[in-house]
């Protein structure tokens, strides 16, 4: 048995989805893994459901297919495609009378397969389509015994079930299955000769208002051409057939062809009626219908007999002449087309994701370039951070130019190449700011009176330059060191140098607004002369206050670069 490879197509769609997630997904890693897990879960569930459904269909259809195979074993090869195959459903007692215990019956016109359970109709039709290698059933014939007492009630109760089953069958086969209705009725009077089938079958929906007239005209033409001694019986039979057709069009067909509860209306393309030997049941709606249509009282129609299943029932082969046989529908071309459609959809999704990823790349690099250009040289640390981000972007684009563009940016949407020269130019143009002066030397005579540690009133002008330097480099610590000449005793010179350094520190801290903890004091006295103390000029050079900017040890340690230069760091300020 061959059929539509729904499981293979589901696996193919899942593979395409996983490939898209792995190569083109614009989402984060976490969302991508979540999407992959969802795809696997849905695909696994769908394949499991399809497998279970296929096994259930095969289990239900296996007895019928075995009967079909055994019945056709002795027939010429290729008969399965050239002989119409019709599903027979409807009244269970009529099906039993026609088929007995065998689910298949072969006539000169068709292969008939019985289906007494309407819910199994979609599975059986799909299995037969697989057995016929893509050619589904040609029609379904709904049978009804009108002479039963519960015929109308059973029909109205089952019509909704048949409509739903035939709608599901249409979805299972991929095309609407032509529907025919065959009505049996026991003759009110004797049947001599036996009654053939009279009916209408067309390729479009039948018009119920003209059917009785067409069927009566067929029966009347046969009665007129019969022998004189049979004309009376045939005329009576014509009247019964006309009443049966009218009753079927009024009571049976509307219940089957009407739409209800979301189930679309069925297209009835054939209606056939026939009379069989016997008598209708006493309470049958058909007997009441004949009395109403003919105008005769029920008693005049003859005494009813208890219903017995008539062994002389025949299948309505004549109704199949107006129904077009179904063509062979190969499943592989359709499956290949669906697989190609899935691949085309996946390609469109990949192209959309690639365009999205390229837009995100352009937006990210452009924003970083704009951010870098907006940082002034006064904030060099922030500039270096932005420059490092640009270097990472440049390295990534250079790798794409060297090794090729990855799939998530490819498919002709890559637009990162023009950004590479721009990044190279920005990185090459970076120049670090000029280093600040290491030390500012202030003449003590311009700040203090001889032997005093109190700032002169005009010393502000001398300290302004040092104040500007400190404000321009707020991240550095400030060392204030005092020096004297060799006049006087060493202890006095040491104390004077420390007092003068403290006075300068206090003024700078107050003027800059920085905490005093950012300043360090050191008094050297006369221990570090710049010139000889033997001359007045030399002693003047030795009397000075030095302001030195040093890196903040705590800040350097936070950045992983502790300051440790014992040769250049003043005593007492090592990190």
Cis check: omega of the bond before 542, within 30 degrees of 0: no
Q: How far apart (Å, rounded) are the C-alpha atoms in residues 497 and 453? A: 8
Q: What is the predicted pLDDT for the residue at 78?
A: 66
Tell me which range, 39-48, 154-163, 267-276, is most confidently predicted by mean pLDDT: 39-48
Given this model, what pLDDT does residue 309 score? 42
Q: How far apart, in whole angstroms, are the C-alpha atoms of residue 467 and residue 460?
A: 10
Please tell me the predicted confidence (pLDDT) of residue 338: 93
Structure-block tokens of residue 562: 């502790």
| Mean pLDDT (the chain, rounded) | 82
Q: What does the pLDDT read at residue 27?
A: 92
Q: Are 442 and 547 in contact (CB under 8 A)?
A: yes
* DSSP states of 103-144: SEEE-SS-EEEE---GGGHHHHHHHHHHHTTS---SEEEEEE
Contact 400, 409 (CB under 8 A): yes
- Integer Cα distance of 525 and 545 in angstroms: 11
Is the pLDDT confidence value at 435 over 70? no
Q: Model confidence at 370, in pLDDT bands (50, 70, 90)?
A: very high
Higher pLDDT, 334 or 348: 348
β-pair type (139-145, 179-186): parallel
Q: According to the 3-state scheme, what is the secondary structure of 362-388?
A: HHHHHHHHHHHHHCCCCCHHHHHHHHH
Q: Where do the H-state alpha helices sit in 258-403?
A: 285-294, 331-374, 380-403
pLDDT exceeds 60 at position 570? no
Distances (CA, A) of 62 to 56, 139, 147: 10, 20, 34
Q: What is the mean pLDDT of residues 179-184?
A: 92
* Residue 300 reports pLDDT greater than 60: no
Residue 397 pLDDT exceeds 70? yes
Task: Give 439-558's CATH code, choosing from 3.40.50.720, 2.40.50.1020, 3.30.1450.10, 3.30.1330.60.
Answer: 3.30.1330.60
**Mean pLDDT, to the nearest integer, of 488-508?**
88
Count of positions (residues) in the chain:
575
Report residue 93 as tokens.
């007692």
- 111-114/104-106 β-pairing: antiparallel
pLDDT value at 154 more than 90: no
Query: Phi/psi at 467 (nearest 5 deg)?
Result: -65, -40
pLDDT top residue among 293 and 371: 371
pLDDT for res 553: 54
pLDDT at res. 470: 82
Per-residue pLDDT tens for 55-104?
887 787 787 778 777 776 666 666 777 889 999 998 888 888 888 888 88
Confidence of residue 35 (pLDDT cuts 50, 70, 90): very high
Q: Which of 243 and 367 is assigned the larger pLDDT?
A: 367
Q: Which residues face 85 on adjacent strands?
A: 111
- The reported pLDDT for the residue numbered 265 is 67
**In this predicted structure, which of 30-44, 90-104, 417-431 has the lowest mean pLDDT?**
90-104
pLDDT confidence bin for 328, thresholds 50/70/90:
confident
Distance CA(179)–CA(167), nearest Å, equals: 11
CB-based contact 547:528 (threshold 8 Å): no
**439: confidence class by pLDDT, cuts 50, 70, 90:** confident
d(CA 97, CA 416): 79
The predicted model scores a pTM of 0.59
Can you tell me the mean pLDDT for 17-33? Answer: 94
DSSP state of 518: G
DSSP string, 402-434: HH---GGG-TT----TTHHHHHHHHHHT--PPP
């Amino acid at each position: 048995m061959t059929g539509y490879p729904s499981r293979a197509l589901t696996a193919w769609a899942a593979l395409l989805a996983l490939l898209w997630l792995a190569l083109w997904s614009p989402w984060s890693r976490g969302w991508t893994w979540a999407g992959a897990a969802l795809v696997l879960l849905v695909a696994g569930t769908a394949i499991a459901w399809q497998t279970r459904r296929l096994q259930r269909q095969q289990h239900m259809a296996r007895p019928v297919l075995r009967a079909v195979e055994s019945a056709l074993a002795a027939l010429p090869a290729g008969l399965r495609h050239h002989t119409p195959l019709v599903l027979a459903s409807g009244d269970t007692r009529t099906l039993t009378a026609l088929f007995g215990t065998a689910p298949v019956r072969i006539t000169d016109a068709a292969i008939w397969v019985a289906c007494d359970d309407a819910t199994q109709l979609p599975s059986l039709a799909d299995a037969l389509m697989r057995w016929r290698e893509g050619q589904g059933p040609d029609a379904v014939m709904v049978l009804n015994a009108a002479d039963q007492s519960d015929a109308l009630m059973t029909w109205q109760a089952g019509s909704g079930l048949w409509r739903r089953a035939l709608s599901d069958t249409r979805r299972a086969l991929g095309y609407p299955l032509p529907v025919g209705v065959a009505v049996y009725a026991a003759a009110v009077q004797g049947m001599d000769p036996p009654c053939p089938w009279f009916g209408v079958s067309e390729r479009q929906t039948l018009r119920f208002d003209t059917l009785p007239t067409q069927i009566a005209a067929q029966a009347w033409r046969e009665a007129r051409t019969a022998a004189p001694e049979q004309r009376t019986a045939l005329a009576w039979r014509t009247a019964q057939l006309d009443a049966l057709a009218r009753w079927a069009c009024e009571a049976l067909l509307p219940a089957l062809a009407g739409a209800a509860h979301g189930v679309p209306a069925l297209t009835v393309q054939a209606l056939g009626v026939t009379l069989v030997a016997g008598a209708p049941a006493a309470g049958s709606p058909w007997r009441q219908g004949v009395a109403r249509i003919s105008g005769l009282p029920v008693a005049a129609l003859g005494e009813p007999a208890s219903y017995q299943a008539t062994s002389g029932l025949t299948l309505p082969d004549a109704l199949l002449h107006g129904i077009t046989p179904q063509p062979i529908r190969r499943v592989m071309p359709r499956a290949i087309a669906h697989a190609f459609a899935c691949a085309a959809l996946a390609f469109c999704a990949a192209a959309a994701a690639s365009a999205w990823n390229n837009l995100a790349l352009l937006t990210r690099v452009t924003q970083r370039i704009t951010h870098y250009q907006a940082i002034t040289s006064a904030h060099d640390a922030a500039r270096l951070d932005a420059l490092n981000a640009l270097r990472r972007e440049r390295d990534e684009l250079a790798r794409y130019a060297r090794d090729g563009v990855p799939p998530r940016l490819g498919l002709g949407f890559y637009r990162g190449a023009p950004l590479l020269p721009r990044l190279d130019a920005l990185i090459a143009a970076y120049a670090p700011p000029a280093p600040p002066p290491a030390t500012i030397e202030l003449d003590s005579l311009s700040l203090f009176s001889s032997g005093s540690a109190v700032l002169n009133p005009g010393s502000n002008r001398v300290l302004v330059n040092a104040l500007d330097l400190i404000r321009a480099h707020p991240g550095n610590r400030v060392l204030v060191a005092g020096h004297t000449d060799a006049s006087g005793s060493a202890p006095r010179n040491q104390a004077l140098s420390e007092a003068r350094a403290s006075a300068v520190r206090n003024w700078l801290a107050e003027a800059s607004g920085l905490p005093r903890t950012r300043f360090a004091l050191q008094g050297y006295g006369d221990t570090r002369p710049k010139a000889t103390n033997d001359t007045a000029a030399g002693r003047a050079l030795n009397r000075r206050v030095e302001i030195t900017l040093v890196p903040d040890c705590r800040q350097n340690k936070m950045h992983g670069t502790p300051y440790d230069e014992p040769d250049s760091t003043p005593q007492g300020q090592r990190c």
